[in-house]
Amino acid sequence: MKRLISKGLMFGNLVPIESPALIERYNRALKSLTGKETKLADFHIDISGYSPEVGDELDDHLYLNKNGCNRQFILLTTDQKTAPLLNAKFSTSRGILTKFIAGNEAQLFSLTARDAVAGELENTVFELTSPARLFDIRRITVVADTTGNHLAEAEKLSRLVERFRTEEDAWWNDVLIAEMIALAEKTGDVTRNPVALKATTYDQGNFWTAHFGGIYIFRDLDHPAAISVGPKEALGQLPVRYVFGLGDRNQIAKFLEINDLAEPIVSAPGADASAILRQKMDFIVVAAAAELGLDIGHGSRRDLRQAAAALGARLPEAFQGLAALLRWVETGGPWPRITSAHPSYFYTLRAKPHADRDLVNMLLAELSPLDVRQLFICHKELFYHLYRSWPEAKKEYVADYLEREYQIDKAGARSRLFGPEPAMEETPAIPGWSRPGRGDILDAVGPWGAVRKERR
C-alpha cells in the first residue's frame, strides 16, 4: 500500500492539521464525541474529520463511526468538503457531508474560524441487528454544533431577543437583559449576523452499504431490488420482492434494463468506445499475465500485445468478448452475441445519467473487477481490498497507470468514461438498444444477444 500512498492514490487529498490551535480544537471535539484525545503533533483528516494517523494511535479506525451506523464528524475547516471519506460504510455519507458543508459554507466558515464543529449523521436506526433494518434508514439529519455550543446559544439568544421585542416592560426586565448580554458575548450580534445551519436533512433512497458483507439497495425504482455481495440466503427476509446475488447475472442484467439504469458503451453518447474497450482489454491482459508470471515489460501497448500473444488460448473469455466487440466497432466485423451470461457482459456497460449514476457504476465495477480504472474510481474500498492480493507486477502496472493517466485529469477521465454529470443533459434514446417488457425479472436474459445495430 506504500506505493499507492506515495503516488497519491491512497489517503490522497486529505487535509493536513499541523497548527497547535487546530489540534486543540480537534481534541475538544474528539473528547466531546468519543471521550478520547490525540497526542499527535500533526495528522491528516478526511471530510468527516477522521484521521488514519489518529486511528492508528487509538488502535480504533472506527472511532468516529461506532457500529458503522450514525457517522460522527469533526469540521475544522470548510476545505474538508473536497476531501475523500475513508472507511465508508454507506455510499451516501460523503455526498451528504459535501452537501451539508456546501449548503452552509458561510455559516461554517464563521464557526470554524474560532472553534471546531462536531456532529453526527443521525438516522432513526442506531444498531443494525439484521439486514432488514437497513430499509428503516430513510432520512439522514445532520446534527451539529461547536464544542462551545455556539449554535445552541445563538438560538437561545434569538429567542430572548424576540421576547425583548414583544413583551411589555421588557426594558425593565434586568434578568432578561443580563442574560442577553452574557449570551451575546459568546455568540455576537445574532440580529445582524445570524448563525443558523440550514439544509440539514437529506433523503437516503438507493444506496450501497458495507454491512452484512455488502448490499446494494435499490428501493426507489419502479422495480426495486437488493443485490447482495455475499450469499443472498444469509440476508434473511427483506422488505423487497427481489433479492439477487452477484452470481445472478441474468437477473441483474434485466433489473438494470427495466429500470433504465445502464447503457452499452458502444452506443453511449460521446464515448470513445474503441479507446475504452482497448483499455479494458489491456487490464485483463495484465491480470492474466501477472497471475501466470509472464513478463509484461513496461506495460506499454506493444508489451501488452506481446503478452496477449503469449497467452493465446489462455486469455480469459472476458477478453475474447471485448475483442469481438472491438472488431465490430473498428472494422465492421460481425455483431457479437454477448448475453449477460458472458463474462464480458458487464464490462460493456456504463450507467446512464441519472441520480443513481455513481451507485450503478459502483455496482458495475464490482461485476467487472478486472477493469481496475473503473474499480478505483467507483469503488475504492473494493479496489484497496483486492489490491492487497494482486501479484507485484500487477500492483506496479496499475499504480503507475493510475498516476500517469488518471491523477493528472480526474474530472476529464470521469467525463470520458461515464459522460457528463446527470443534470447537464437529457439522456437521448439509444437506437438499437431494445427494452424488454415489464415482466418478471427472474426470467431475464441480458439484451446483447437480441440487439441488432447497423455500424455507423
pLDDT at 155: 61
Confidence check: pLDDT of 30 > 90: yes
Confidence check: pLDDT of 91 > 80: yes
30-44 average pLDDT score: 95
* Cα(13)–Cα(44) distance, integer angstroms: 9
> Phi and psi of 261, rounded to 5°?
-100, -25
Angle at which helices 273-292 and 392-401 pack, to 10 degrees?
160
User: Which residues lie closer than 8 Å to 94 by C-beta, 6 or more apart?
Assistant: 47, 84, 85, 88
Return contacts of 329-337, CB within 8 angstroms, 24+ apart. 329/266, 329/273, 329/274, 329/277, 329/455, 330/274, 332/455, 335/451, 335/452, 335/453, 336/448, 337/448, 337/449
* Cα(18)–Cα(177) distance, integer angstroms: 41
123-136 average pLDDT score: 85
Helices (H), 296-342: 301-311, 317-331
277-287 average pLDDT score: 94
pLDDT at 270: 85
3 state SS of 226: strand
User: What does the mean pLDDT of the chain come to?
Assistant: 84
Tell which wins on pLDDT, 11 or 111.
11
* Cα(29)–Cα(333) distance, integer angstroms: 63
List the single range of 3-12, 283-292, 445-454 with lowest mean pLDDT.
445-454
Angle at which helices 357-367 and 249-258 pack, to 10 degrees?
160
Most confident range (mean pLDDT) of 132-141, 249-258, 423-432 is 249-258
pLDDT at 176: 63
376-391 average pLDDT score: 95
First to last CA, the chain: 44
Question: Burial level of 232, CB count in 10 A (0-12/13-18/19+)?
Answer: buried
90-111 average pLDDT score: 89
Confidence check: pLDDT of 228 > 60: yes
List the single range of 153-167, 240-254, 341-355 with lowest mean pLDDT.
153-167
pLDDT at 271: 87
pLDDT at 436: 37
Within 10 angstroms of residue 386's Cβ, the number of other Cβ atoms is 15
